[in-house]
Structure 1
């Protein structure tokens, strides 16, 4: 059993380990974006996330 101070180092493994939040209510986010526009997006997303989303087409 490992102690709480130990962790697995994935830095050289090629494995990407991330922590994030999944948005469940897409329609609510859509309404917020329509109402508040970039003010909402700038407060909720990083500049990297905004660039990534703006460069993608909708997949649904």
Structure 2
């Protein structure tokens, strides 16, 4: 990730669990969850905090 890159939050299935990627001011933070629901709930909260749309475009 690079400075100036737009903020973003993504949820992906990975290695039998779920991963949330949060990009804020060019800094990537990765959080791992064992189930989808907590990952989606966390991602929704991060999107709201960052002022992003509720779901990223496909």
TM range (shorter): under 0.3
| Higher RCO (CA-CA < 8 Å; seq separation 6+) | 2
Q: Which has the higher helix share?
A: 1
Provide TM-score, normalisation by structure 2. 0.27
The structure with more radius of gyration: 1
* TM-score (ref. length: structure 1): 0.26
More strand by share: 2
